[in-house]
Chains A and B, each alone.
Chain A
Amino acid sequence: MFKWLEKNLPKIVIAPSIGLISWFVYGFILWTFYISFTNSKILPRYELWGVGQYVKLWGSRKWLIAVDNLLIFTVLFLVICIVIGVLLAILLDQKIRAEGFIRTIYLYPMALSFIVTGTAWKWILNPTLGIQKLFIDLGFENFTFDWLVNREMAIYTIVIAGVWQSSGFIMALFLAGLRSIDDEIIKAAKIDGANLFVVYGKIIIPMMRPVFFTSFVILVHISIKSYDLIVALTQGGPGISTTMPALFMTQAAFHKSQVGLSAASAMMMFMAVAAVIIPYLYSELRRENVS
């Protein structure tokens, strides 16, 4: 009896982990998946109803705005974070004095919660007392900056705050990548007569492909899950002009008593994430197996 225990001890030890994750991750997702096919309103009902919730979802104006906002935000967020991240990483790679200090400044936003970030930027972008007043005081008398309460522009305020929070991390990823490049390649390029721009453009950046890939996955993932930042910055407003899928899901379940609809929206979010993560994990695992 003891022999069996000893032999299987490792498996017994990780059984709780596997059990918990099976239930609370996979089990729960399946439950949500199931509910998305029911007509649950305030409480879950378990009779299958077909794809009615999904039809309702994609017919909902609010959901379509949410998806549209998500696309706009994701593209801008992705591109700007990577551009800033690469730029700052290259600059910091040039043997700067006080590099550690500057890095701390670029990275500390990541330590803050999205609520803190949202609260701070909400104040900064305050239509009367924030940026607008600052520029007016600086002499630009007719300057207006009311993006926060402007239906068309509010989504871009979220981009500004999101980029502020996350681009430092992308910079850290690229800086680590740059630092891992073999010194001798740079020496060879110098002998070959390549100037700084050519070295970065034609040699170093192409070598950073894995980091681009990782950054892409991480940023898209953050973007799809955006909830806290929106709640703190705009509450989805003005009106519903900055609503996003995560907001839609919560409001449907807890404010509109539409549990089935909420489940459907949650599954859409899940599928979006899976579409990005699964290929990523697959290629990473293949790389690990090959090497």
Chain B
Amino acid sequence: MVALQVKDLSKSFGNTRVLKKINLTIDEGSFIVLLGPSGCGKSTLLNIIAGLETIDEGNVFIDDYNVSKVEPKDRNIAMVFQSYALYPSMTVKENIIFGLKQARVSKKKIEEQLEKVASFLKVDELLNRKPSQLSGGQRQRTAMGRALVREPRIFLFDEPLSNLDAKLRVEMRHEIKKLYTSLKTTMVYVTHDQVEAMSLASKIAVMNEGIIQQLDAPQKIYDKPNSLFVADFIGSPSMNFIKGTITRDSNSIIFIPNGENEINFDLTHYEFIDKIEDNQRIVLGLRPEYVSNLEDNNKNMKKLSLKPVIIETTGFDKNVTFDFAGSEIIGRFTPNSGVELNKNHNVYLNLSQISLFNEKTEMRM
């Protein structure tokens, strides 16, 4: 069942087009994360879904009803904000039941709902406190309580963890995840943090400059990014990009990195290699975990001898940066690799894990 659908949605602020014909379908019970850098339009999209922003073109459907012109309070949604947006002059209890009171729900029902939500989120001890007397985590739980108590069809989250310190962020992320698994309500979550996106989402919509670049499950986005932008945005340390040209030989297809005419990669094995023409300029993407000091028994390994310029210890492994093909690539080495600065070392590239991108369009091939 489709819970939310956005059709051909466009929005401009003044002369800037913030959303360009967005199409998005969200199944009931799924957790969609709108991920992207500042200014990509993700918050605007969320506000339009909520009814807090007007639409220039296009429509929004909730449960098959066109809600494009419906007030937020009638859309059966609830929202959690980055700054919690709690009403400062009201107690936690008053904050939580405020929406129910506006909807003229019966006193009895209000008490029932309040009890359920307060104990579920463990804010029942805090009901008589004012927001200024709460910690960051308590405020966020109160904000979630306010959303939960409405029993909405869709939960909206607008970067709710950005204001928290690192440790609290992880804690609250787990709380949100637990909330989702127990309620299984449809959730739309906006963030710029790809770690959050990867851990919470059932599907991620990666956005940039007003369009959705890719909508997929987290692992798929990680393994098979649609474009250079998505490939670069997801994953830390980010994917290595090597620019070069494809040369077709009689029986092999070779990739020659720019400026390294001595070196070539045999890419005959690549799944879509037939789509690539001779002399086409492409970008070869390879995640750092597939650039290693360990030889694999994989027949698609490429061995290089490279000089490290930066070595960073993470404890679990070492991130080693090498000069190559006019720029740099990063590999993840085992801690005991014996790698040293400015001394050539053997580097093994697992070419069966590459992604190829058309240099001009930046799209996956």
Contacts from A to B (Cβ < 8 Å): 182, 184-185, 187-194, 198, 202-203, 206-207, 209
Interface centre among A182, A184, A191, A206 (most CB of B within 10 A): A191
Contacts from B to A (Cβ < 8 Å): 47, 50-52, 71-73, 77-79, 81-90, 98-99, 102-103, 146, 158
Can you list 17 pairs linking A and B with CB atoms under 8 Å apart? A187-B85, A188-B85, A188-B86, A189-B98, A190-B71, A191-B50, A191-B72, A191-B78, A192-B102, A193-B73, A193-B102, A193-B103, A194-B102, A198-B102, A203-B89, A206-B90, A207-B89
**Residues in chain B near residue A207, CB distance under 8 A:** 88-89
Is A185 in contact with B85, judged by CB distance below 8 angstroms? yes
Beyond the given A185-B86, A191-B77, A192-B98, please list 6 additional residue pairs across the A-B interface where CB-CB is below 8 A. A184-B82, A185-B85, A187-B79, A190-B52, A191-B73, A191-B79
Contact of B89 among A187, A190, A206 (CB under 8 A): A206
Is B81 in contact with A188, judged by CB distance below 8 angstroms? yes
Q: How far is the CA of A209 from the CA of B72 in the complex (A)?
A: 29
**Residues in chain B near residue A202, CB distance under 8 A:** 87, 90
A186 vs chain B, min Cβ distance (A): 8
Secondary structure type dominating chain A contacts: helix
Is B79 in contact with A193, judged by CB distance below 8 angstroms? no
Q: How far is the CA of A187 from the CA of B143 in the complex (A)?
A: 13
**Residues in chain A near residue B85, CB distance under 8 A:** 182, 184-185, 187-188
Is B81 in contact with A203, judged by CB distance below 8 angstroms? no
**Residues in chain A near residue B83, CB distance under 8 A:** 182, 184
Is A191 in contact with B88, judged by CB distance below 8 angstroms? no
A67 vs chain B, min Cβ distance (A): 36
**Residues in chain B near residue A203, CB distance under 8 A:** 87, 89-90
Contact of B52 among A187, A192, A206, A209 (CB under 8 A): A187
**Residues in chain A near residue B52, CB distance under 8 A:** 187, 190-191
Q: How far is the CA of A206 from the CA of B73 in the complex (A)?
A: 23
Contact of B73 among A185, A192, A209 (CB under 8 A): A192
Q: How far is the CA of A182 from the CA of B88 in the complex (A)?
A: 11
Q: How far is the CA of A193 from the CA of B73 in the complex (A)?
A: 5
Q: How far is the CA of A190 from the CA of B47 in the complex (A)?
A: 12
Query: Which residue of B has the minimal Cβ distance to A208?
Result: B89
**Residues in chain A near residue B73, CB distance under 8 A:** 190-193
Q: How far is the CA of A202 from the CA of B88 in the complex (A)?
A: 11
Interface centre among A185, A188, A194 (most CB of B within 10 A): A188
Query: Which residue of A has the minimal Cβ distance to B80?
Result: A188
Q: How far is the CA of A202 from the CA of B90 in the complex (A)?
A: 9
